[in-house]
Amino acid sequence: MGSKRHNIRSNILPKVFMVGPITLWLGFLIVIPLLYVLVMSFCGTDEYYNIVYKFTLENYKRLFAFNYLEIYAQSLLIAFFTTVICILLGYPFAYLITRKFTRKKAILYMMVIIPFWTNSLIRIYGWRTFLGATGFLNNLLMDLHLVTKPVEFLFNRGTTILGMVYCLFPFMVIPLYSAIEKLDQNLLEASADLGAKGRNTFFKVILPLTISGVFAGSIMVFIPCLGYFFVSDILGGGNADVIGNLIKRQFQSGNDWPLGSALSIILILITLLLVRIYQKLGGSMESLGM
């Protein structure tokens, strides 16, 4: 009886009050800005780099310049290797902390997150301090007389990938951890009871049941890699630029916002394509949110 009375009371006001703020917020700070970037990507500039609102495909044509194509390829390659390394390290790691060191798993899991409470820029700079020509590693190698002059570790694709793996590793571990944690111990025992060897159990039971975590982690690692300009700035030293560096340049010194917008649209399209593939593979959006 009571609930009916409340339902009769107008539901419009609380509905507007509860759903209104989020609608306005997303509308003004996500939808409009992204639509504006889309519009701008079809605009030109005058000689002072002011935006001229006149339809042109010029920006998109310029995206096919050879030096740009090279950077897209490089960026995709860096993202690919980062993702593969994160899977190869993250999967056994997540498996071990959830199923082998079960009693300590909460602490072990927390210890993956804690480094993130120190600013990521300064941690990346920590790698530069460690690997630099006068850095800790070179000093050690020199003191041990293993090398006679400092080794140049820095400023290449390898160190950029190292930095990306470092920054994004937890985003692989988090979905893997929750996928592996859900694994039913009885299934593994059943598989063993039925005579399956360890390898068979892994490929026929464990992996298919946790592959969703691999997919979610891959999305969470691959896509940010394309944009993380500060990692390639600090550890790549201009030799390992990603698409993010190209965009940043247009909104900074280059000041060609329409070109930067067109580059951003490319990044959005890549994101949409990858998320679409992810959904086709059976991935749920919810696993990306946490």
Partner 1 sequence: MNRKTKRKFTDFISVLFCGGIYAFLFLPIVVIVINSFNATTSKPYLTWKGFTFEWYVKLFSNETLLDSFRTTITIALVSMIISVIVGTIAAVGMYKYKFRGKNIIDGLLYIPVVIPEIVLGISMLTLFAKASIPRGMLTLILAHATFSIPFVVFNVRARLADYDNSIEEASLDLGANRIKTFINITVPVLAPGIGGGALMAFTLSIDDVIISYFTNGQVKTFPLKVMESIKSGVSPDINALSTLILLGTALIVFLTQSGIFRKNK
Residues 124-143 contacting partner 1, CB under 8 A: 124-127, 129-130, 132, 134-136, 139
Map residue 281 onto helix, strand or coil: coil
Does 15 sit near partner 1 (CB under 8 A)?
A: yes
> In the complex with partner 1, which residue's Cβ is closer, 30 or 73?
30
Rounded CA gap, 286 and 164, in Å? 24
In the set 55, 115, 164, 188, which binds partner 1 (CB under 8 A)?
Answer: 115
Does 106 sit near partner 1 (CB under 8 A)?
A: yes
Q: What's the residue count for the chain?
A: 290
- 118 CB contacts (<8 Å, ≥6 apart)? none
Which residues 157-186 are close enough to bind partner 1 by CB under 8 A?
Answer: 166, 169
Residue type, 101: F
Helices (H), the chain: 2-8, 12-26, 32-40, 58-62, 66-95, 105-113, 120-131, 136-143, 157-181, 185-193, 198-201, 207-227, 229-231, 243-250, 257-280, 286-289
In the set 69, 92, 152, 276, which binds partner 1 (CB under 8 A)?
Answer: 92
Does 102 sit near partner 1 (CB under 8 A)?
A: no
Rounded CA gap, 10 and 4, in Å? 11
In the set 110, 144, 146, 194, which binds partner 1 (CB under 8 A)?
Answer: 110
Which residues 189-248 are close enough to bind partner 1 by CB under 8 A?
Answer: 219, 223-224, 226-230, 234, 244, 247-248
Does 26 sit near partner 1 (CB under 8 A)?
A: yes
In the set 68, 77, 81, 123, which binds partner 1 (CB under 8 A)?
Answer: 123
Rounded to 5°, the CA angle 163-164-170 comes to: 110
CB of 110 to partner 1, least distance (A): 7
Supply 270's token pair. 């890549």
Could you tell me which of 94, 214, 109, 89 has the C-alpha nearest to residue 164? 89
Could you tell me which of 208, 215, 209 has the C-alpha nearest to residue 275? 215
In the set 77, 89, 151, 211, which binds partner 1 (CB under 8 A)?
Answer: 89
> In the complex with partner 1, which residue's Cβ is closer, 111 or 190?
111
CB of 92 to partner 1, least distance (A): 6
CB of 274 to partner 1, least distance (A): 8
In the set 78, 85, 97, 174, which binds partner 1 (CB under 8 A)?
Answer: 97
CB of 61 to partner 1, least distance (A): 21
Does 17 sit near partner 1 (CB under 8 A)?
A: yes
CB of 26 to partner 1, least distance (A): 5
Rounded CA gap, 131 and 271, in Å? 33
Size of the site for partner 1 (CB under 8 A): 84
Helix axes 32-40, 257-280, angle to 10 degrees: 120
CB of 202 to partner 1, least distance (A): 14
Does 285 sit near partner 1 (CB under 8 A)?
A: yes
